[in-house]
Amino acid sequence: MKKIVIIPARIQSERLPEKPLKLILHKPMINWTFEAALKTSADIVQVATDSKKIFNLFPSANAVMTSSNHLSGTDRVYEAASKIGLNDDDVIINVQGDEPFISPDDINNIFNLISKKEISMATLYSDFTSVNDLKDSNKVKISVNNGIALNFFRETSLKDNIFIHQGIYGFKYETLKNFVSWKPSDNEKKYRLEQFRAIDNGIKINAIKSVSKIHLGVDTEEDLRKANEIAKENSYK
């Protein structure tokens, strides 16, 4: 069983243009995620991008050019994975390129979970840091029971068994192939959350809690400022 991390990195971003190239302590954001992935048990780590600017940051074995027409990061991940030559039970983890402080331990824990024969898809969650998170539509919430993701929300008044969803997904390659072949489901289009495509097609998403103390997805200039502060405070290099 091969273990692969693929980091989708689209150059265009409405809220933060050329987001993967934004600097955190003089290093492009995408490099932070890539370097974290290299510290895992992955056999292969690749950045999948539609930009030569991003592609040229990495060794040729760790970067792949993909179409600029993909509607989602998962589609981009699949294109990259399909070029590797994988078996159906190989494992791919989709790690978002705007998660500069992603923990290698979290990635390895997803690998360990998704490597089990009976599990086809897995994701990650963390505790709330503020009650305001419940109404923040930019922070996706997840309902978890006995290690299974029951539902996802952009806004909710529920509090029991509700957590912050961290945008990292593990797939068996067979499941990833099926996922991209399905049309977007009604719930996916309604809530703008592609994980509903899996749920609505009968895929069980296993979920585990993050062991990291730092969670920050960078989408805005304010997020970028916070990322630089965190990097300085935690003596990152």
CATH of the domain at 17: 3.90.550.10
What is the model's pLDDT at position 237? Answer: 53
The pTM for the full model equals 0.94
**Residue 214 CB neighbours (<10 A):** 17
123-150 mean pLDDT? 90
- Average pLDDT, rounded, for the chain: 94
77-101 mean pLDDT? 96
- DSSP-based three-state secondary structure for 209: strand
φ, ψ of residue 168 to 5 degrees: the values are: -130, 130
201-224 mean pLDDT? 94
What is the model's pLDDT at position 156? Answer: 85
* pLDDT per position as a tens digit, 167-185: 899 999 999 999 999 999 9
Query: Which of 195-202's residues contact partners 24+ apart within 8 Å by CB, and which partners?
Result: 195/123, 195/149, 195/152, 195/169, 196/152, 198/121, 199/149
Q: Which amino acid is at 224?
A: L
- Count of structural domains within the chain: 1
> 215 lies in which domain range?
3-233
139-159 mean pLDDT? 91
Confidence of residue 223 (pLDDT cuts 50, 70, 90): very high
The Cα 56–Cα 64 span in angstroms is 10
What is the model's pLDDT at position 227? Answer: 96
Angle subtended by helix axes 29-38 and 104-114, to nearest 10: 50
